[in-house]
Structure 1
Amino acid sequence: MRITVKLDGFEGAPPAAYAILWLDKETRRWSREGHQSVDVPDWGGLGSAADGTLICHPHAQQPVCKLEELDVEAPGGPPEGVAGRVLWYAEGASNPRVGRWHVQCVDRAQIKAEHSVFAGDEYF
């Protein structure tokens, strides 16, 4: 299952700042599919928190951000259109910037990517 999430509305960021992420439930990884004025790595791992989903750096469990109240492990995935608050840990800041996230699309089929950012992965 792949979940497309848009992050935007960050405090102190330009009004058009955004990032679009693909969250892959099976591989527990995410990839950046688009962004503007938001510094986000190309990919990383997914983590779980008591109150949401962690978007982690590719080579560390340090979170880039936390999507509050988003449960990617929910049976059938989250519903399209659901939204919530994102906490953005800009450059490891202890006081995160607040923004919002919303699920744009949930693709329940297994998809073989044409070009995977995860070397050696057959499926993304």
Structure 2
Amino acid sequence: MRLTIHLDTFNCEHPMAFAILWLDKDSRQWSREGHLGLDLPEWGLLHLDCGNTLVCGSNDTTPLCVLEGLDLNGCDGPFEGETGSAQWCAKGARTLMTGHWHVQCIDHEHTAPEHGLFAGGDDA
């Protein structure tokens, strides 16, 4: 299962700051599909902690962002339209910034990506 998550409404220097992330529930990886005003790497790993999803870098378990209440192990979700609080804690943030996450789309297909970060092999 893959989810498209929209992060926004962070109180930061750029009033229109947002990020769109593609989360792969099975591989526990994410990729950045779009962003403005939020400094994120191109991809990373997902970790789960007490019903929250931690968006981490590719080589680090320190969260860049915590998606509170987004339980990727839950039987009842996530579902399209689900929302919750997000805590931005990336390196550049001196203090935690609170924003929101929103599930825009859920893809239940198990199609392997042809190209890109999660394709594996030599093309990735």
TM-score, L = length of structure 1: 0.88
Unmatched tracts of structure 2, length 5 or more: none
**Structure 1 residues 119, 60: CA separation in 2 closer, same or farther (over 3 Å shift)?**
farther
| Structure 2 residue matching 1:27: 3-state secondary structure | coil
User: 1:44-77: CA deviations, max 9, x gaps?
Assistant: 1110111411001111111111000001122364
Following the alignment from structure 1 to structure 2, what is the Cα–Cα distance between the partners of residues 45 and 108? 20
> d(CA) in 2 for partners of 1:118 and 1:73?
21
The alpha-carbon deviation at position 94 of structure 1 amounts to 6.7
Name 2:84's counterpart in structure 1.
84
Task: Provide the residue aligned with 2:74 in structure 1.
Answer: 74
RMSD: 2.2
Residue 115 of structure 1: CA displacement?
1.7
| Structure 2: distance between partners of 1:34 and 1:92 | 19
Aligned to 2:26: 26
Q: Name the structure 2 match of 1:15.
A: 15
Change (3 A) 1:107 1:88: same
Amino acid aligned to 1:5: I
Once the two structures are TM-superposed, the CA of residue 37 in structure 1 deviates from its matched residue by: 1.2
Instruction: Call closer, same or farther: CA 1:14–1:91 in 2, change over 3 Å.
Output: same
1:8 corresponds to which letter in structure 2?
Answer: D
- The alignment partner of 1:47 has SS state of strand
**Residue 23 and residue 115 in structure 1: after superposition, are their counterparts in 2 closer, same or farther (change >3 A)?**
same
Aligned-partner residue type, residue 59 of structure 1: N
Using structure 2 for the length normalisation, give the TM-score: 0.88
Q: Which deviates more, 71-80 or 54-63?
A: 71-80
Deviation at 1:93, TM superposition (A): 4.8
Q: Aligned partners of 2:98 and 2:60: how far apart in 1?
A: 22
Report the residue type matching 1:109 in the other structure.
E
